[in-house]
């Protein structure tokens, strides 16, 4: 069976062949434990881990010592939020938005059960918060503001620099879920007010099961506390034998993103804009957050009069697309992100996220446009 064209790069990305090539020796030849300090195999693995840490630091322009390896962004987010709350005597207030990933929203819900105070900021039709709302929501006991760097469903990029000015002014931590942004758009943490940042390898052409946590300084590390006990790995903050092949792959993925980012930004924006232009010729098509500052490869599009689930199922033979976050797609309900930007249940259910990537070709986009156009017109003609 011919595999469908993959247009769901926000859900995950394929490992770049160069990443796989770099990882392979660390499964069988360079297999030493990086914590084994008494022999060559351990030294080799430890050096490989530190090379990867430097590669990641170069990508986001931070100090290598400020990066901790985790299993992924979800773990990093849990560590940040639970660490700040429980190490503050189980008290405190968090501010976040209504369009966060479930890793943030579900962790917040758990902390609320433990006694945390929460404020959820509204967003406008472009997925942007009001900076005035943020500032007025800050309390004496506010621990931090938690937000995405870029939204995973509509691609909106938040004004992190302006947000950082507010958090610094009020001496609260800016906590970023940058899962969709790292490796996709330029990032410079050396001049940023971000205190903590979570991200994952598998969103940037690296392997699954490995991620990162950026912690801006040693004082912020002490605020989080130890996440896993049982060893002295990662500066005693996160114990456990390190996933060397995954870390090596993560580092190589970061190096490739750093090398090709400018070129990929231009290519993906061009493909995305053409894709939206052509689909916009169909009647009843709405592109969410069209006028907002967005990631260059993301399009969230609703097709009026066409049931989203039926459209997805019909397209699935030819295209791999989704209604939104893979973590939320198990439950059939309107996207909380699309509801938050003002869409009705019906329109939200009829919306599809298309996300392009490094390996998307012009020919694939051309084929996808024809398939989508023909399918939408056919479904509209067959509505009873």
pLDDT in tens, 121-161: 999 999 999 999 999 999 999 999 999 999 999 999 999 99
The helix-helix angle for 73-86 and 102-113 (nearest 10°) equals: 30
Count of residues for the chain? Answer: 384
> Catalytic residue among 10, 15, 147, 327, which?
327
Q: What pLDDT does 327 receive?
A: 53
Question: Does residue 328 carry a pLDDT above 60?
Answer: no
pLDDT per residue as tens digits for the range 179-216 = 999 999 999 999 999 999 999 999 999 999 999 999 99
pLDDT per residue as tens digits for the range 216-244 = 998 999 999 888 888 888 887 898 889 99
Q: What pLDDT does 384 receive?
A: 43
Q: Give dist(CA 368, CA 363) in Å, integer.
A: 9
Question: Does residue 383 carry a pLDDT above 70?
Answer: no
Mean of pLDDT values over 245-273: 98
User: Among residues of the chain, what percentage have pLDDT more than 70?
Assistant: 97
Question: Does residue 168 carry a pLDDT above 70?
Answer: yes
Sequence-ordered strand ranges (E) for 56-116: 67-70, 93-97
Listed in sequence order, the DSSP H helices in 125-175 are: 131-137, 160-169
Tell me which residue of 206, 198, 156, 208 sits closest to 173, measured CA to CA. 198
**320: alpha, beta or left? (left if phi > 0; alpha if psi -120 to 50):** beta
Q: What pLDDT does 340 receive?
A: 96
pLDDT per residue as tens digits for the range 72-89 = 999 999 999 999 999 999
Please report which confidence band the pLDDT of residue 320 belongs to, taking 50, 70 and 90 as the band edges: very high
Please report which confidence band the pLDDT of residue 59 belongs to, taking 50, 70 and 90 as the band edges: very high
Q: Write down the mean pLDDT value for the chain.
A: 94
pTM attached to this predicted model: 0.94
Active site residue 327: yes
Sequence-ordered strand ranges (E) for the chain: 5-6, 67-70, 93-97, 117-121, 142-148, 173-177, 196-200, 211-215, 285-287, 298-303, 319-320, 351-355
Q: What pLDDT does 231 receive?
A: 81
Q: Which residue would you say has higher pLDDT here, 210 or 349?
A: 210
Mean of pLDDT values over 88-115: 96
Q: What pLDDT does 230 receive?
A: 85
Identify any residues that bridge with 119 across adjacent strands, giving them in sequence order: 95
Q: What pLDDT does 152 receive?
A: 96
């Amino acid at each position: 069976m011919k595999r469908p064209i993959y247009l769901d790069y926000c859900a995950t990305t394929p490992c770049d062949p160069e990443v796989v090539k770099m990882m392979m020796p660390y499964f069988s030849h360079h297999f030493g434990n990086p914590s084994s300090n008494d022999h060559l195999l351990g030294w080799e693995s430890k050096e490989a881990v530190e090379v990867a840490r430097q590669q990641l630091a170069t990508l986001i322009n931070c100090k290598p010592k400020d990066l901790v390896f985790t299993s992924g962004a979800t773990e990093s987010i849990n560590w940040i939020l639970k660490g700040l709350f429980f190490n503050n005597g189980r008290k405190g207030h968090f501010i976040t938005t209504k369009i966060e990933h479930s890793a943030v929203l579900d962790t917040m819900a758990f902390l609320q059960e433990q006694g945390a105070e929460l404020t959820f900021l509204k967003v406008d039709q472009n997925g942007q918060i009001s900076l005035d709302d943020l500032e007025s929501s800050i309390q004496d006991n506010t621990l931090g503001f938690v937000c995405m760097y870029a939204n995973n469903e509509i691609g909106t990029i938040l004004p992190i620099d302006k947000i950082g000015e507010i958090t610094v002014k009020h001496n609260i931590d800016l906590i970023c879920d940058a899962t969709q942004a790292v490796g996709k758009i330029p990032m410079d943490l050396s001049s940023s007010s971000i205190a903590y940042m979570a991200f994952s390898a598998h969103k940037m052409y690296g392997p699954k099961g490995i991620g990162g946590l950026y912690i801006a300084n040693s004082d912020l590390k002490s605020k989080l506390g130890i996440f896993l006990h049982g060893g002295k790995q990662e500066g005693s903050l996160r114990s456990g034998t390190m996933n060397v092949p995954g870390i090596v792959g993560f580092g190589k993925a970061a190096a490739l993103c750093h090398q090709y980012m400018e070129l990929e930004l231009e290519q993906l924006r061009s493909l995305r804009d053409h894709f939206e232009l052509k689909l916009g010729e169909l009647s009843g098509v709405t592109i969410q957050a069209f006028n907002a500052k967005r990631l260059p490869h993301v399009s969230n599009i609703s097709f009026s009069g066409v049931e989203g689930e039926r459209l997805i199922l019909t397209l699935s033979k030819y295209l791999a697309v989704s209604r939104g976050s893979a973590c939320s797609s198990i439950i059939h309900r309107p996207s909380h992100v699309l509801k938050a930007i003002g869409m009705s249940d019906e329109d939200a259910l009829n919306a599809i996220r298309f996300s392009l990537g490094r390996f998307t070709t012009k020919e694939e986009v051309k084929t996808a446009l024809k398939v989508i156009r023909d399918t939408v017109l056919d479904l509209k003609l067959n509505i009873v």
